[in-house]
Chain A
Amino acid sequence: MSEQVGLRGKAWFHALTGKHQPQTGDPASVWSANEKIGPQTALFLCVVPNLESRFPCVRDGQVGLEEAYTLAARVRETMAADRKKPRAQRRPIVAIVDVKSQAYGRREETAGIFLAAAASADAYASARMAGHPVIALVVGQALSGGFLTHGYQANCILAFDDPGVIIHAMHKEAAARITRRSVRDLEQLGHEIVPMSYDIQDYAKLGILHELLHVESPLKPTQSDIDTVKQAIVKAIDEARRGAVDLDVRRLSDAAKETRKAGIAARALMEQQWLEA
């Protein structure tokens, strides 16, 4: 793929909020805005590349220390503002996801990027459990620790049905190297072994995704694309408000019952034996 990571994130953040900048005091790599969507105001968050970042290993749109703690701060700020409101009125949070990965850097490891990533996942999950509908909109790449930090704790994950959308544990070259295969073999294998696939339609078979969205132009959204996506987000927010605040739906969905049989069996047996122990 020659397309630069992060362009889609920027395009969609602008399309949905009309803005294209961080809040004052935040790093240039985290865009956030509170904007209307449907009948309500939502907090929109997006990690974008910043070629001038003072951390060299995040310049291509990776999620690093500043990005993770900023996401956590913005989410926690929204939670604090809504603390006294009834759960049904708490502000939705929309994570627009187009991230290459977590940052692979020595500075990051030294300063404990694992805690930064944990803090962001904590904030998103805590917001969900406090009744804020959390929606992830995957418009491009959602890889590895980048996705765990930004998006994977959502009530509902929406993704474009488009070859440029990739949700995966590791990018192809590295996964091929570690599992001792060629990239071509790895791609081939993805067709037989669903969780290995880089194809978003295969990912949908895992039962984790809320909905696949069809858009004409994922990089330069048309007005009709924007309308489609806005409608889908509003619908997902409504469903999140009515649904459970945990992630159980990801194994209770029809697709999960097919693909995640072994995990579901392990859980059922654990529940039974727990009572006997």
Chain B
Amino acid sequence: MNQATLIPAFVKRSSFIELTGRSRAQSLFDEGTAWRELVGPFDRIESPWLPMQGVAPQSDDGCIVIKGRIAGKPAVVISLEGAFQGGSIGEVSGAKMTAALDLAARDSAAGNSTAAVLLLETGGVRLQEANLGLAAIAEVISSLLVLREHAPVITVVAGTVGCFGGMALTAGLSSYVVMTRGARLGLNGPEVIEQESGIEEFDSSDRALAWAIHGGEQRVGMGLADFLAEDSVEQVASAVRKYVAAGKPAQHRSEQIRLYRERIAALDTSRQIDPLKLREEWATSRQKRGAR
């Protein structure tokens, strides 16, 4: 493909990351099928804790839940709106997520396999609701694990917020993870590490380093995520359809304890780890070991 044909294709694509959390969720359902948002903004269940601290709440608490059909099967999409409080998890957004996962698990256990697609743009716990946010993440984890036994859970981290904090565990527990190059996935972001451990540990102004460690290309390359999508609605949606159709994997990444213990034991920790070298090592050992 020459440059003349390449550029128009890129320009004409419909961007996924430019969409709001709600539009992202809507874009994933099968064309021509009906879907419905549950506990939507007009139901007005808001955070009771934010107004007490002078912060404006939002009528969907930044969590959009839509039920419909993907790849011809029932599915629920749970989307965190990164533009509201950094996509953080509070009491209400957490309860919506847990309830949707529980209901999908109930239907799936009854024979009506219902996949969950999580669109995670989040820094983790909403600190204004601190302990209820942390508790919510523990409950999301538990409910996700129940559903995962019956139907696939697909996490999409598209950007631009990325997926950090406790919600990164949720990504780690998912059956499949889809990322874009601009997306990042990690437990602690560079700013947090710089603050806690010093600038020698992580210089958060070094953007190249941040993406070399947490970026989508790196995470997919080292086998911690499954598919690298372009920032295109069609590419993200088709990856999601593919994984819904595939069903649950034979083994989940978070169950591969022996493999990862060996990998951690083999790390040279006397200095910082070169991300690219580690990616190559893990990619090679994956082919040898048949890891996911």
- Chain A residues in 8 Å Cβ range of B41: none
Q: Which of A116, A122, A208, A261 has the most CB of B within 10 A?
A: A122
List, sorted by A's number, 16 A–B pairs whose CB atoms are closer than 8 Å. A70-B261, A104-B197, A109-B193, A114-B171, A145-B165, A148-B141, A152-B135, A153-B138, A174-B195, A194-B131, A251-B139, A259-B132, A263-B95, A263-B132, A269-B45, A270-B65
0/1 interface trace, chain B 138-164, chain A, CB 8 Å (1 if under): 110111011000000000000000000
CB neighbours (8 Å) of A196 from chain B are 49, 128-131
Task: Show the binding face of B for A, using Cβ within 8 Å.
Answer: 35-36, 38-39, 43, 45-49, 52-53, 61, 65, 67-68, 91-92, 94-96, 98-100, 103, 125, 127-139, 141-143, 145-146, 165-166, 168-173, 185-188, 192-193, 195-197, 201-202, 213-214, 219, 222, 224, 252-258, 260-261, 263-264, 267, 269-270, 272-273, 275, 278
User: B-facing mask of A258-277, CB < 8 A → 1, else 0?
Assistant: 01111111110111011011
A263 touches B197 (CB 8 A): no
Which residue, of A108, A111, A265, has the highest number of chain B Cβ atoms within 10 A? A111
Cβ contact within 8 Å between B141 and A153: yes
Cβ contact of A262, chosen from B48, B137, B267, B278, cutoff 8 A: B48
Interface string of A108-132 (1 = CB under 8 A from B): 1111111111110111011001000
| Residues of chain A lying within 8 A (CB to CB) of residue B173 | 118, 121-122
A177 within 8 A of B: yes
Report whether B92 and A108 are in contact in the complex, using a CB–CB cutoff of 8 Å. Answer: no
Chain B binder among A10-18, A43-51, A83-91, A165-173: A165-173
Q: Are B53 and A110 in contact (CB under 8 A)?
A: no
Instruction: Evaluate contact between A177 and B195: CB separation under 8 angstroms.
Output: yes
> Shortest CB–CB separation between residue A29 and chain B, in angstroms?
13
A81 CB–B CB distance under 8 Å: no
Q: Do most interface residues of chain A lie in helix, strand or loop, or is the interface mixed? A: helix
Q: A65-B264, A247-B138 are in contact. Are A72 and B257 (CB under 8 A)?
A: yes
The 3 closest A-B pairs by CB, nearest first: A118-B172, A263-B95, A114-B168
> What residues of B have a CB within 8 angstroms of the CB of A65 in the complex?
264
Q: Which of A105, A109, A122 has the most CB of B within 10 A?
A: A109
Distance of A108 Cα from B269 Cα, bound (Å): 10
Is there an interface contact between B253 and A267, defined as CB atoms closer than 8 Å?
A: no
Our pick among A72, A262, A270 for the contact of B100 (Cβ within 8 Å) is A270
Does the CB pair A247–B133 fall under 8 Å?
no
Q: What's the minimum C-beta distance from A41 to chain B, rounded to whole angstroms?
A: 22
- Cross-interface CB contact of B39 among A112, A119, A208, A270, cutoff 8 Å: A270
Within 8 A of B (CB), among A195-217: 195-197, 203, 206, 208
Asked if A263 contacts B94 (CB within 8 A), the reply is yes
- Chain A residues, Cβ within 8 Å of B165: 145
CB distance from B25 to the nearest CB of A (A): 14
Contact A169 B267, CB 8 Å, known A57-B201, A111-B278: no
Q: Are A119 and B255 in contact (CB under 8 A)?
A: yes
Tell whether, in the assembled complex, residue B264 and residue A66 are in contact, meaning their CB atoms are under 8 Å apart: yes
Judging by beta carbons under 8 Å apart, are A263 and B127 in contact?
no
Decide if B172 touches A195 in the complex (CB within 8 Å): no
Which of B49, B92, B131, B185 contacts A114, CB < 8 Å? B185
Of B39, B131, B171, the residue contacting A273 (CB under 8 A) is B39
Residues from chain A with Cβ under 8 Å of B129 in the complex: 195-196
Contacting residue for A168 out of B131, B139, B278, CB 8 A: B131
Question: Could you tell me if B273 and A107 are in contact, using CB atoms closer than 8 angstroms?
Answer: yes
By beta carbon, the residue of chain B nearest A101 is B196
Given contacts A69-B261, A104-B197, contact A261 B202 (CB under 8 A): no
* Nearest CB on B from A277, distance (A): 4
Q: Decide yes or no whether A255 CB sits under 8 A from chain B.
A: no
Closest to B74 in A: A277
Chain A residue nearest in CB terms to B278 = A110
A246 to B143, CA, bound (A): 8
Tell me if A119 and B257 are in contact (CB < 8 A).
Answer: yes
Interface membership of chain A positions 70-108, coded 1 if the CB is closer than 8 angstroms to chain B and 0 otherwise = 101100100000000000000000000000011011111
